[in-house]
Amino acid sequence: MLASRLMGPKDVRVEEAQEPVVTTPDSATVDVTVTAICGADLASYWGYVPGFEWGTIMGHEFVGVVRDVGDAVKTVKPGDRVMVSSMTSCGHCWYCRRSMQPQCENRALYGFSGAYPRLDGGQAGTAFIPNADRDLWPLPASVSDEAAVFVADILSTAYRGVERANLAYGDDVAVVGCGPVGLMAIMVAKLAAGRVIALDTVQDRLKSAESLGAIPVEADEAAVEAVKGMTGSRGVDAVIECAGGAPALTTAMQLARPRGVVSVIGAHFEPDFCLDAGTMFANETTLLISIGAPTDDREKVLRLVESGRIDPVPVISHRMKLEEAAEAYRIFEAREATKIILTP
């Protein structure tokens, strides 16, 4: 089979690789039909992940068809169309038993190594699934592979971020960052919000946000005042921060009204972020951070897709062959693509 391996910073190579086989009673193999490139992949692509093992097969967003299962696997069988949760979890640790999948003591992210134990990913012809009953979920016939690949990670992450913001119907919601995750958050927030205000510095992304029904605001120095101007000088009821990094979180904190909620799903690595605890105290601000829990949330998210209330497929900007993975990463890094789907 072919597999897309990261051999060094910005060095993706698609090469022949050994096909994985079922090695334990709980494991399975899945023939991949659709896989996607995610913003999270860029951290390893740029060489920012300490301890990353060069040669790891990339890809944590993928769907496919079950090829083989171990003796103990009960919920899927060969031939089933399945989505794969982007992060594996054991199902029996203290956190898993309390539905806190992202904190599983045995977690690992497909297509990653270093930050977690190495787990080869789904940008390959076939993928190894260590814990099939946890990680695999059969797909209804009405949900396409392309739609399901969003449920594997970013749509489920957006769902978690919006759900934790505890919106009331009609709330004003700001979404900071209109990359693929932000666009998912806009779709989910729109299920309840009165208005969704979208902030980004990139015009094309604001146009995408507007096409989904959000009010676009350029994220410049005047952005916070512009949003306050729309909300009686108060700020919004809830902010979904989807960009990651200190400037986005700073903006998000400024956009929330007193007693507002800031729900963060953007990735953060800065250990020295300066939090204005005095203002947070005076304003009774709630700050929530979520990694996303696709295993815990996939059933509900799939129902939103199956019912047609959310359609993530229009966010796909490029469809390419797995063989073109190196070029795909290049244009994704250059922000020439919103969301790239690869087919093995």
Residue with Cβ nearer Zn ion (90 or 253): 90
Residue with Cβ nearer Zn ion (134 or 190): 134
Residue with Cβ nearer Zn ion (96 or 242): 96
Q: CB of 75: closest distance to Zn ion in angstroms?
A: 17
DSSP character at residue 85? -
Regarding 104 and contact with Zn ion (CB under 5 A), the answer is: yes
Which of 28, 76, 96, 148 is in the footprint of Zn ion by CB under 5 A?
Answer: 96
CB-nearest residue to Zn ion: 38
Regarding 153 and contact with Zn ion (CB under 5 A), the answer is: yes
**Could you tell me the CA-to-CA distances from 187 to 98, 158, 240 in Å, in that order?**
28, 9, 12
The owner of tokens 């101007």 is 229
Binding window for Zn ion (CB under 5 A); candidates: 48-56, 102-110, 240-248, 254-262: 102-110
Binding window for Zn ion (CB under 5 A); candidates: 147-155, 189-197, 295-303, 331-339: 147-155
How many H-runs (helices) and E-runs (strands) does the chain carry? 11, 17
The residues near 195 (Cβ < 8 Å, ≥ 6 apart) are 172, 173, 215, 230
Regarding 184 and contact with Zn ion (CB under 5 A), the answer is: no
Q: In the range 23-42, which residues lie near Zn ion by CB under 5 A?
A: 38, 40
76 and 138 Cβ atoms separated by less than 8 Å: yes
Binding window for Zn ion (CB under 5 A); candidates: 93-101, 225-233, 288-296, 317-325: 93-101
Between CA 184 and CA 208 the distance in angstroms is: 11
Regarding 90 and contact with Zn ion (CB under 5 A), the answer is: yes
167 and 173 Cβ atoms separated by less than 8 Å: yes
Listed residue (136, 152, 156, 151) closest to 31, CA to CA: 136
- Angle (nearest 5°) at CA 43 between 161 and 200: 50
Query: With contacts defined by CB under 5 A, how many residues of the chain interact with Zn ion?
Result: 8
Residue with Cβ nearer Zn ion (178 or 227): 178
Q: Which residues bind Zn ion (CB under 5 A)?
A: 38, 40, 89-90, 93, 96, 104, 153
